[in-house]
């Protein structure tokens, strides 16, 4: 099974990259399933039913999120009614939505997608480590193929999570920092790992936002309006090949695909 994971989609430029690039990539790379982090899809912060539908129509099968999942009030209905859109698993009991989902690509075995959120330099939340162990145990009763989007800030937290889950899940790819790392590898137990997939959107920017307001904020510490930038759009993430029989990763490679400007 070949899986494409698309890192943090940022605003309209990121959604456009999905719409224009994913259909071609699916065909060109013989991809069976596409997962995308959409927590910054709506105006650069949060996600709505409308932006989620746009992402699904672009060729994405499952949407994950992160700490900005609650930024748009319409998200509650989306999480309650759309099983293909999940929020971090380690929120307290009773929070709307779910932290994992099952999806079966055409002609392929069922795959589980799990979303976690870190705690280091992040908003307070339940332990992702305890939550992950319990949920993986439950999911492995249904499938050996499990993909994890770990939305976290600290490198050490991401590596520790992947090491803990080595041999229990097929892949752990980090999101949140919007900076693609160069540490893709397969651990001894067969789990593919990439510390951060980067982001899908405008890279002539400061992690997706217009440059000048960010600099002014650092210079003055005064509030600024951080608009989504528009130039040099890239679709970033990871391509993972998984053995369908045992759920072990066969390969992982980074993706950084430019959206060619219209002529």
Which of 10, 58, 64 shows the shortest CA–CA distance to 35?
64
- pLDDT tens digit sequence for 67-101: 999 999 999 999 999 999 999 999 999 999 999 99
Is 224 a member of any domain? Answer: no
32, 68, 176, 178: the active-site residue: 68
Percent above pLDDT 70 for the chain:
99
The reply to whether 68 belongs to the active site is: yes
Mean pLDDT across the chain: 96
User: Which residues span the domain enclosing 70?
Assistant: 2-202+230-258
Q: How many domains does the chain have?
A: 1
- pLDDT tens digit sequence for 186-206: 999 999 999 999 999 999 999
- Specify the CATH number for the domain of residue 7: 3.60.21.10
Is 212 a member of any domain? Answer: no
Name the band, by pLDDT with cuts 50, 70 and 90, for residue 263: very low
List Cα–Cα distances, 44 to 84, 124, 209, 254, in angstroms: 21, 22, 8, 23
Q: How far is CA 18 from the centre of its chain?
A: 13
pLDDT at 177 over 60: yes
What mean pLDDT comes out for the span 113-120?
Answer: 98
């Amino acid at each position: 099974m070949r899986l494409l994971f698309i890192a943090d989609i940022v605003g309209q430029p990121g959604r456009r990259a999905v719409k224009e690039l994913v259909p071609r990539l699916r065909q060109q790379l013989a991809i069976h399933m596409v997962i995308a982090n959409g927590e910054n899809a709506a105006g650069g912060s949060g996600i709505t039913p409308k932006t989620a539908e746009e992402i699904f129509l672009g060729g994405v099968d499952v949407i994950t999120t992160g700490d900005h999942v609650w930024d748009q009030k319409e998200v509650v209905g989306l999480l309650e009614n759309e099983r293909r859109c999940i929020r971090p698993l380690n929120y307290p009991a009773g929070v709307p939505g779910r932290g994992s989902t099952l999806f079966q690509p055409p002609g392929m075995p069922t795959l589980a997608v799990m979303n976690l959120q870190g705690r280091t330099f992040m908003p307070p939340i339940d332990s992702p480590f305890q939550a992950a162990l319990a949920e993986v145990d439950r999911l492995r009763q249904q499938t050996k193929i499990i993909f994890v989007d770990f939305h976290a800030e600290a490198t050490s937290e991401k590596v520790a999570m992947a090491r803990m889950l080595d041999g229990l899940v097929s892949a752990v790819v980090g999101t949140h920092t919007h900076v693609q790392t160069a540490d893709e590898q397969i651990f001894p137990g067969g789990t593919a790992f990439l510390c951060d997939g980067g982001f899908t959107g405008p890279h002539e920017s400061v992690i997706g936002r217009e440059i000048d307001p960010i600099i002014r904020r650092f210079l003055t510490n005064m509030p600024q309006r951080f608009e989504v930038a528009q130039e040099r759009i890239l679709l970033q993430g990871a391509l993972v090949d998984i053995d369908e029989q045992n759920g072990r990763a066969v390969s992982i490679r980074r993706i950084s695909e430019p959206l060619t400007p219209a002529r």
